[in-house]
Every structure is written in C-alpha cells, then in structure tokens.
Structure 1
Amino acid sequence: MATLVSSSARQPDGLIPSGQLWLARPALSACVRGTIVRSTVGHVLRNEDRINRFPAAPLCSLSWWFTGRSETLVPERPGTMAGLNSPREPMPGRWVLAGPQTRPTTSYCAEPTHAMMVMFMPDALYQLTGLEPQALTDRVVDAQTLLPSDWIAMCAAVQCQADDAARLECLEDFLEPRWQICRPAQPLPTQRYVDWAAHLAQRAVLSAPGRSLRQLERRIKRWAGLPLRELRGFGKAEQAFFDAIAADTAGKSVKWADVANGAGFSDQSHLCRVTRRITGYAPQALYHGIHREEAFWVYRIWE
C-alpha cells in the first residue's frame, strides 16, 4: 500500500496544512515517482493563495478532482510567470493526462478543491500504455482520449473510493500486475533524476542493435520524452534543491555558490539560469516563496 511520507502539516507559520506526498508500494517504486494530494476544503484562503505553482519536470502525470476544479493560468508573455490577472483555461477533461513539462506551470482553484496527481516515470508509462512521452511533452490532455479502456475504468473506480488511502490502493492494485509483466529486467530501485538518466542511457545502449549517438538519443527521447542532456539538467537541479533543503534543515545559511558547486553546475550563474528555467524564479526568490507563500506548497511537501 502507498505510504504517506510527507505532509504540509509541517508548514511555516501562516500557511495551511493542505498538501501530502505519498510514495508507492515497493513493487511500483520504479514506475510511480510519487502521488501528490491537495485539499483546501475547510480552509479560508486569500485569492492569491488559490494559485498553485509547479516546476518543469520530466515526469508524466494523471490527475483527479474529487471536489472543485482547477484552471490553467496562461502567461501573458513567454518567459514570464502567470498571475491572478492572467488568462485562464479550463482543464481539458474529468481526468487529465500530462506529459513531461519543459516549462513551469501555474493553476488556479476558484473554490475549495481536493485533487490527486499520480506522477509516473515516463518510460514506465510508455511500457504500460504504449503512449510515447515525446508525443505528450508540454501537453495536458483529456485522459479519456488517449488512455486504454481498462485505464479509464480504473480512473472511474478511483473516483468512487471513500478516501485518499483507498484511492491509492485501488490505483496500485491496478498497476502492480501490469507493471510486473512489462517492467524492464533490471528496473532502477530509486528514482533520483540523475540516477534515472544514467540508467536510461545504459538501457539504450543494451536494448537493441545500433549504438550510434543519434540512435541512442532517439531511444531515450522515445522512452522519456526529452533528450538525455535535458534529463541530466533536471538531475542537477534536483540535487541543488535537496542540498539547499539539507542546509536549511541543519540551521545553516544557504550559500548558493556552494549549492551550485555541489550539484555539478559550472558556477552560481549557471544554477540561477537553470533554476529560473525550471521554476520561473531565481534560487533566492524560490527559497523565499517556499517559506512564505501558499502557492509554493508543492515544493514544500518534497522537503
């Protein structure tokens, strides 16, 4: 059964305890990176607290809404972050499937909302469904238009469960026998991005004839939706995020030059450029948002 490993009950003062991170049962650890649950039901929110900020990520996701709905906030100019006055677009379906995202995204919940997002490793979703992550990159679609019929039946069954634990158990009972059939012979037991990217590169070399750089890149992009260079960039950014959290948890001041060096960036400016591309914010601004703004709840539950 999925395990609740992080809850935003450990929030900074003034922020609501509304987000949870669940990790899948061990048999699915190479398939599902984690499940995010968010409920604002029963909480009093300011208008700006209804915004949800998500980083770019190489994962695929499948989302449900049990109460309320979300809308996508569309940036008014490329390279800027959406805000309350940005144009809004409704989600494309009752259940939403998203591919790897190369840009940060923002959503808005006008009313109290209870939602769940399951994050799949993209190569695992490809193995399970035959959907190529490359065709889903930077897309958010109605799951009912792409997923196989048995998956749609599973989505409906999850929707009907009584609570989050039962919903996750229903999902995992569906996934586990299918994953056991199609999983790689030696799946990676842990899913830090840097290790996963290295594992994909090794699989690409061993999986089929033809080992030119172009052929290997094509295989990796078909499985993951993104080129290996970008996956390695996500790995460095993730390492920097966890290193900064570790320093903060230990009561130390976060020194961005040291974080950049430890994560493998060429210098602090390189870290700033990558962080801005993935999150929309420079490292210090992101750090401030995580500690003081409700909209950054998704970052807090990974701490």
Structure 2
Amino acid sequence: MNVENGVHDAHYYVPPPSRWPLVGSGALFCLGLGAALTINQVGAGRWILLAGFAILFWMLAGWFGDVIRESEGGQYGQQVDYSFRWGMSWFIFSEVMFFAAFFGALFYTRAISVPELGLLGDTQQLLWPDFKASWPLATGPKAADYQAMHPMGLPAINTALLLSSGATLTWAHWGLLNQQRQVLSRGLGLTIILGSVFLGLQAYEYHHAWTAMNLMLSSGAYGATFYMLTGFHGMHVLVGTIILITMWLRVQRGHFTPLQHFGFEAAAWYWHFVDVVWLLLFVLVYCL
C-alpha cells in the first residue's frame, strides 16, 4: 500500500529460497573445525581450513552476485532500498561497538590498571620487581626490552593516505551524482590504490616492529592492545578495499545511476567509517 504520498512503494521484492545460507553454514563449520585441528597440529586441519575459506569466498561471490543481478534487473523498489540502508546502518553501528570494546580496554589499561599497580607499594615489588607505572611499559616480569611506536614516519604517512582516500572516494561519488562516469571510475581507482598502499605499509611496519623493535603480541599490555587495534583495523581496510574493487568492476559494466546506487553508497559509508577509526587509532595509540 502506498503511504505518505508515495514515499513507500507497493512493490517489495521477496527473493526465492536460496542455498547460500546453507553453504555459508558449511563454510563456518569447516573454518572452525579446521582452525581447531590446525592449532592442535592435526595434519588434515590446514586443508579443512583452506576448504572453509574457499567455500566462504564461493558463497560471498554467489550471494552478492544474485543481489547484483536482482538490483540491475529492477527487482528492488524504494522499500527494499530503505531496508538496505537500515541494515547497513546497524552493521556499521555494530562495528562501532566492536572497536569501542578495544578502545575501552586500552583506556582501562592506561588510565586505571597501570596507575593502580603503581600504588601497590611493597606488594607490587613482590609481584613485579622494578615495575614502573608508566605507559608504554618498558619493563615486565621477564624484563622484555621493546620499543614503542612513534606517530611520525609510517603512521603519519598512512594517516595521510587514508585521509586522501576519503577525498578521492567523495570525488568519485560527486562524479556519479553528476553522471561523469570517468570521474567515478578514476576516483574509485585512486581510492583502491591508496588503500592498497596503506596495507602494504602497515605490513612493513609490522615486520619492522616485530624484528627491529622487539614489539610483539607478548610485549605486555602495550603490545597486545597495539596489535589488536591496528590489526583489526587493517583487516577492515582489506575488506573495504575488496568491496571497492567490486564497486569499480561494477562501474566498468555500467552499473549505478544518480538515482539508484546504494551499493556504492554502502561501500562509501564503510570506507569513511574505517577512516574515522584510523584517526582515533593514530591519536590514542600512536600519539598519546
């Protein structure tokens, strides 16, 4: 039924039964089983794990392919568009809460746990000789000697790269809205390149930190929070880059119009979210 002067349309596409949820369940089962067997050094574990990843990628390609074909076939009306927007909004909100948990752990360690350990007096000396209530911790139970990350150098370059990628993606969106397909394609391509360079530099940073700075996951609370926050962010950049590559390929096939392009918008929302998280990371992890 039409309501609010046609804001919602009467047509709501209901897709036919799909095999992809069942395929996805099989992929998750293989991933979980393969990871458990691999950790316990069972020979077949790695092959089951690889099979899980292969099935997962097949499921993603097939399921998103169906959605793209339905969208380009004109099956989706305004109500479906609203559903997609609400779904993506709640997904990004869940990602906000995901990173909030790790930022909360970082805050608790720095602002509460470490100062309280410094107030233990003789008991603290008994538990952890030569402990100093400072951040990052340079001493520990095993006197692990590591160096902390500094904001200048690769972290600052990566910040500039992500900020620039946000600008190029906005430029691409402007080209789409103004029916300038060449601008859209170039802007998306530049964003993909900037994201890929970011990932390459972060991999180099990790290698340098691990080998030259002795900064590892086992390097106390600082090493754990550093790698957990930056590592999960890097995973999100990788996923975002893959999504943008998919959008670029769709642009080459003539997909998206100024009035119907939520797939592109969803990718842009996700990428801008990744940008904002990195700015928080740069300030709270590298600078402070």
Q: Which has the higher contact order (CA 8 A, sep 6+)?
A: 1
Give 1 or 2: higher helix fraction.
2
Give 1 or 2: higher strand fraction.
1
Using the size of structure 2 for normalisation, the TM-score is 0.27
Using the size of structure 1 for normalisation, the TM-score is 0.26
**Larger Cα Rg: Structure 1 or Structure 2?**
2
